[in-house]
Homo-oligomer: A and B are copies of this chain.
Amino acid sequence: MIKKIKSKKEDLAIDIDNLVPGNSVDCVIFGFENQQLKILLLKWKFSNLWTLPGGFIYKMEDLHSAAQRILEERTNLENIFLNQFHTFGNINRNLLHKGFKEKKLDKNIFYSLDEKSRKWISSRFITTGYLAFIDIKNASPKPDYLSEKCEWFSIDELPDLVYDHIDIIKKALSYIRIQLNHLPVSINLLPHKFTMQQLQKLYEDILNKKIERSNFQRKMLKLDIFIRMEKEFTGSPNKAPYLYCIDKPKYSELVKRGIGFTY
């Protein structure tokens, strides 16, 4: 994320001279595990607050490249699907703002930084939100230098978050709902072989509503982008559901065109 520079005092410094002022990136990284839509969060040192994986932008780096770098650093994955969804720029995006003080933000995090870095990190940042879809199984998340651990959280059970990060997550979810027919959600979040029940649960989590089963399956299969495979072995062959995989070329074409009301 940002270069670690050890000073004489052994405290941390931020590589400020090489960074674009006033701008940052925050990533909402989605995964799907145990039939639950999840996102990756980092726990800030010296506090009970969690944060989205984020970072700053180097002067010699495009905004999109910065998001890609931060994602790769946090997940150890390359070629992740990522998509910019919104930029957040309220004046209260500022560590010294009253609202954050009330959040019992432990000041110790400042004192691990040198003075110049402290001034930098407490200024107002306009942050651009990126969302990513990854396969949790393949990722090995690691914390940045301001954090002590990384964890996946179900979107129904999020912990206390710093700044406006809860609003960033809500906006990412509402963006996916609207863009669902234009985003490669299933191909990035589901395992290679999946059941219609898993697909339905993923859609239900994203749309935050129950979907009628037979209607959903009929509509999905009619799209002609899912290939039926063998049955899933569950012990009882009669009740075993079919497994499906995605017809990649057809899927990409459909997502590009959009599944929806055409004129």
Contacts and interface: CB of A to CB of B under 8 A. Distances in A.
A44 interface: no
Given A178-B182, A211-B263, A260-B181, A23 B62 contact: no
A86 B83 CA distance: 10
A20 B124 contact: yes
Contacts of A59: 91, 124
Interface in A44-76: 57, 59-64, 66
Contacts of A99: none
A259 interface: yes
A27 to B, nearest CB: 14
A92 to B, nearest CB: 9
Q: How many copies does the complex hold?
A: 2
B64 A89 contact: yes
B62 A203 contact: no
A18 interface: no
Query: Could you say which of A20, A21, A124, A179 has the most chain B C-beta atoms within 10 Å of its C-beta?
Result: A20
A113 B259 CA distance: 51
Contact of A21 (B21, B63, B128, B260): B21
A261 B181 contact: yes
Contacts of A211: 263
Query: Could you say which of A128, A182, A219, A259 has the most chain B C-beta atoms within 10 Å of its C-beta?
Result: A128
Contacts of A207: 263
Query: Could you say which of A63, A88, A216, A259 has the most chain B C-beta atoms within 10 Å of its C-beta?
Result: A63
Nearest to A128: B87
A87 B128 CA distance: 7
A84 interface: yes
Contact of A87 (B22, B60, B61, B87): B87
A179 B181 contact: no
Contacts of A105: none
12 contacts: A20-B22, A20-B126, A22-B22, A22-B23, A62-B91, A63-B89, A64-B89, A84-B87, A181-B260, A211-B263, A216-B263, A260-B261
Given A63-B126, A64-B90, A178-B179, 9 more contacts: A20-B22, A22-B23, A23-B23, A23-B89, A57-B126, A64-B89, A87-B87, A207-B263, A261-B261
Interface of A: 20-23, 57, 59-64, 66, 84, 86-91, 124, 126, 128, 178-179, 181-182, 203, 207, 211, 216, 219, 258-261, 263
